[in-house]
Structure 1
Amino acid sequence: MGHTWIFQHDSDPKHKPKSTCHWLQQNKVKVLEWSSQSPDLNIIEPLWEDLKCAIHTRQPKNLQELEAFCQGEWVALPSEKIKSFIHNYHKRLQAVIDVKGARHGIKSWGVRQALWLTKSKAVSGLPPQLLSLAESPANKIPNQEIRVQNAIKHACFWDTTEEQPVKYSNTLLFNLLHLCATLQSSHPLIGRRMLTEKYILAASWKRGKNLFQVRGQNGLKYNSMDPLPRISGKQQVSETAHNPLETFYPVSPTVDLQKVHVYKEQVNCTGFRGQHFYPHAHTLYFLEGEDARCKLRPEQFRAKMIMFLFGNALAQAHTLFGAKTYQVLDHPITIQAVGTNGRLFQFIVFQLNTTDLSGDDGIKNQSVTRPLVDPLQFAYRANRSVDDSVNMGLHFILEHLDGAGTYARILFVDDCTSTHPAVKLLKTATWS
């Protein structure tokens, strides 16, 4: 190797033993610095994936065949594809720079991957028919604003040193579900739904030559006797055929996808056996786990929601039309989802328009999202009432005074509502 060459290998442990590092240094080999958790920088990763798929197709019977097939398939890899990886390498670098070298940060691309995997078009903003339902007085709970505010407040772990709660509680979702259930007397359709816990989903499909599956538990699900109405008409669905799909290359698909051995390729299960009274998936509820090691960013969480929405819709389509039927659906399947980490809420509506998922052409499915919602900005507004503030303060003080030998000093201030409030000290009191 000449002095102008730079040797590149990633941070795999087998590349980093002391003997290897010493040999490279002893022989004056210039080594490219490498981020410890960024395999996505290595353009050879997707090529390994292509090579493995090609070898798997030929099914070598011994080591000699394996070696021969590897050499033959490696030479047969399209040069144009390799050139495209090199040409787009700056995108890989920028993606890693944007997330400061963290591997899990690449998953912020997860929504793009989810859209490609599910052959879906992203649509921002809720459709007018949903907005009109939310704004209709007939669909509002009596004293809705006060009751929702109370539900939000009761679900928060309050830290007195913070302006707003920073600890989240999934109790909020259940509080809001209980509020919605109070509308059953005026909305009989609520009684035609059933809440399901710990159901196991399985859905299989092919994109190109690759087989994909969504499997596992995703939280709570409302099943209904009646399907949700479609959110897009036939004209809007037909227009999706002109929408190009953005592939997740050059980011390696192995970042987010696990390759596993499966014993049944076509596994499709809605979580229920046989016929039942609530055949239609209505709403999925996603609760982020309490394990601090498994926290997802909003984009990652949204990607998970899209994948499970698609999986539920596809499993239902396979139940209705058969697992080997690939077609544009005359009656699209619509499912909605609410996801929360206890504070931030995401809302997605997914419409399955087609089960023909092999290629990128033709009719696409649709994923409709709205911006993140932070209910704390609704419950704890700057102009909240004085009574509300005083009641919360007194409640904390009385709890504190239960201990022997304790006291509390209260500072009363008058905060006017101007942009730059003038604060006037009224009095200081000490309770014991």
Structure 2
Amino acid sequence: MRLTNKLCAQHIGWHFKKHWLVQGKRVPKETGAAAELLKLGVQVKNPEDLVNAKIERKLVDIVGTREKTIPEDSRHPDWHSTVCHSYSDKSVLIGGLPQAQVLTNSIEIQTFPKQIEDAIASQQLPNSVDKSIRHAILASHVLDAEQVKLPKVSVPDRPAFNLPRSYGISHERVNRLLVNKLLQETEKLAGRPVSIRRKIIDNATFKSSLSKDGELFGFSINAEKVVFANRAIEAVKGKFEVELPDLYPMKSTISIPKRHIYQTDNFYPLRTDISCSNPHTIFTVFNKHQVRNAHGSEVSLSQLQARTLVKAFVVATARAKQLHGDSLNGALPKPIVVQSVQTDGRTFHFGVLQLNTLDLGANSTTKNYWFHRPNYDIFSECSYEAGRTHLENYNGDVFRIFNAFYNNS
């Protein structure tokens, strides 16, 4: 037999519930206590105001939370009514090198300055250098252990067909390893007296803004590697009389995006009080999967050379404004020379910009100088064949120009 609790005929819990229901409906009588307290100057508060008091909640910034997006309109703190032509790393000048010349007020000289040409012709390098550069190319392109998913490869004749994704060394790592090895070999040949006067920085950002014929231009670029020197490169002597190309019916602003949200500040990564703060050589990387024309076509040879010029121009402009102030808008007291090297891992483009003036208007009598040669391929093919590394058509002239650039002062 199961034992259970004994239940009373009248359950006391039921009586308690009914008692509270009856007592809750009673209306409290006015005792006059509140009136007496008011006569004595004592403040009487409503109990609901004390129980349900309003608490002011303060916003606390918690690290890791998603920030509220700022609307990209006139409510944005950096919004300006004046439009700005904004140039960045992914911008492509559809007019190529002629458009870059007009934009930067630079005349083209299809050779290097005399001191660099003499250095290239007179330098004698040991035979072991070419062997080291060959090994550096193989080490960066095929022998590195990194295996990541590479970008998609499309077939123009079959745009809807998806090819299997391949794995290999990323484009960024290939260029970083190759440029680092070239710099290392160059420093070994130059010796401590030269290398001690150079400092190298990775991923340096440069920003500047200029006016040209009543229009505002904003530049913001990144250089994968920058060599700074304790002494600025000497300006090229002589005067060159070359006309700027005619872009008619195009303007120099074509294909440059327009923005209402921008900043006009000038940024140079090093302070002037640092001994090695003068720009010497910048190294930039071209990735065809990230840099394309607005209409989707691949970047042409002239457009690639324009990127080399514009990036050197931004570095020189940022340095000039740091030295002479943002108000400078004419000829520089002393020209600034910046060497520029652009590569995609196989093709190299070398150029030297001499910034003589920040007056980019059409009526400017002073021009900037842009010295460069055609592109050089350091090899034609680098891959595995029958399980062995294969390097075809190695070009030793690339390292000789590279070495002359580094030793130029």
Report if TM-score (shorter chain) is over 0.5.
yes
The TM-score range, normalised by the shorter chain, is 0.5 to 0.7
Q: How many positions carry a matched residue from both structures?
A: 271
The structure-2 alpha-carbon separation of the partners of 1:325 and 1:396, relative to structure 1 and needing over 3 Å to count, comes to: closer
Alignment correspondent of 1:177: 183
Structure 1 position 111 matched with structure 2 position 97: yes
Aligned partners of 1:275 and 1:306: how far apart in 2? 28
Aligned partners of 2:389 and 2:359: how far apart in 1? 59
Alignment correspondent of 1:155: 140
Contact 1:111 1:303 (8 Å CA) reproduced: yes
The structure-2 alpha-carbon separation of the partners of 1:293 and 1:214, relative to structure 1 and needing over 3 Å to count, comes to: closer
CA deviations 1:329-357 (Å, max 9, x no partner) are: 34211110111111011001000111222
Contact 2:349 2:374 (8 Å CA) reproduced: yes
Aligned partners of 1:323 and 1:292: how far apart in 2? 32
Aligned partners of 2:253 and 2:316: how far apart in 1? 25
Equivalences for 1:90-105 in 2 at 5 Å?
A: none
The Cα shift of 1:298 comes to 2.9
SS at match of 1:188: helix
The Cα shift of 1:308 comes to 1.4
Letter matched to residue 192 of structure 1: R
CA deviations 1:399-420 (Å, max 9, x no partner) are: xxxxxxxxxxxxxxxxxxxxxx
Alignment correspondent of 1:4: none
The Cα shift of 1:396 comes to 6.5
Letter matched to residue 326 of structure 1: N
The Cα shift of 1:202 comes to 0.9
Structure whose CA Rg is larger = 2
Structure 1 position 204 matched with structure 2 position 209: yes
The Cα shift of 1:133 comes to 1.3
Deviates more, 1:318-327 or 1:347-356: 318-327
Aligned partners of 1:344 and 1:215: how far apart in 2? 24
The Cα shift of 1:253 comes to 5.0
SS at match of 2:141: coil
The Cα shift of 1:367 comes to 0.7
Deviates more, 1:197-206 or 1:284-293: 284-293
Alignment correspondent of 1:271: 269
Letter matched to residue 260 of structure 1: R
CA deviations 1:302-334 (Å, max 9, x no partner) are: 211211111111111112222212333342111
Deviates more, 1:124-133 or 1:354-363: 354-363
Aligned partners of 2:222 and 2:377: how far apart in 1? 26
CA deviations 1:61-86 (Å, max 9, x no partner) are: xxxxxxxxxxxxxxxxxxxxxxxxxx
Letter matched to residue 178 of structure 2: L
Aligned partners of 2:334 and 2:302: how far apart in 1? 30
Alignment correspondent of 1:284: 282
Letter matched to residue 312 of structure 1: V
Structure 1 position 328 matched with structure 2 position 316: no
Choose the corresponding residue for 1:214, options 203, 211, 219. 219
SS at match of 2:210: strand
Equivalences for 1:376-391 in 2 at 5 Å?
A: 376=379
TM-score (norm 2): 0.58
The Cα shift of 1:288 comes to 1.8
Choose the corresponding residue for 1:357, options 356, 360, 363. 360
SS at match of 1:313: helix
Alignment correspondent of 1:223: 228
Equivalences for 1:345-424 in 2 at 5 Å?
A: 345-376=348-379, 395=388
Alignment correspondent of 2:308: 305
Aligned partners of 1:304 and 1:348: how far apart in 2? 11
Equivalences for 1:246-257 in 2 at 5 Å?
A: 246-251=245-250, 255-257=254-256
Choose the corresponding residue for 1:193, options 188, 194, 198. 198
TM-score (norm 1): 0.55
Choose the corresponding residue for 2:109, options 118, 123, 129. 123
Deviates more, 1:146-155 or 1:348-357: 146-155
Q: How large is the RMSD of aligned CA atoms in angstroms? A: 3.5
CA deviations 1:75-119 (Å, max 9, x no partner) are: xxxxxxxxxxxxxxxxxxxxxxxxxxxxx9x94522111111110
SS at match of 2:258: coil
Structure 1 position 135 matched with structure 2 position 134: no
The Cα shift of 1:135 comes to 3.2
Contact 2:271 2:277 (8 Å CA) reproduced: no
The Cα shift of 1:259 comes to 1.0
More helix, by proportion:
1
CA deviations 1:349-386 (Å, max 9, x no partner) are: 00011122233430100111111111115x98xxxxxx
Alignment correspondent of 2:6: none
The structure-2 alpha-carbon separation of the partners of 1:298 and 1:124, relative to structure 1 and needing over 3 Å to count, comes to: same
Aligned partners of 2:368 and 2:334: how far apart in 1? 13
Choose the corresponding residue for 1:145, options 115, 130, 135. 130
More strand, by proportion:
2
Deviates more, 1:346-355 or 1:274-283: 274-283
The Cα shift of 1:124 comes to 0.4
Aligned partners of 2:131 and 2:379: how far apart in 1? 13
The Cα shift of 1:129 comes to 1.5
The Cα shift of 1:142 comes to 6.0
Higher relative contact order (Cα pairs below 8 Å, separated by 6+ residues): 2
CA deviations 1:251-306 (Å, max 9, x no partner) are: 355542111125544x2221234632322110010112373674633322221121
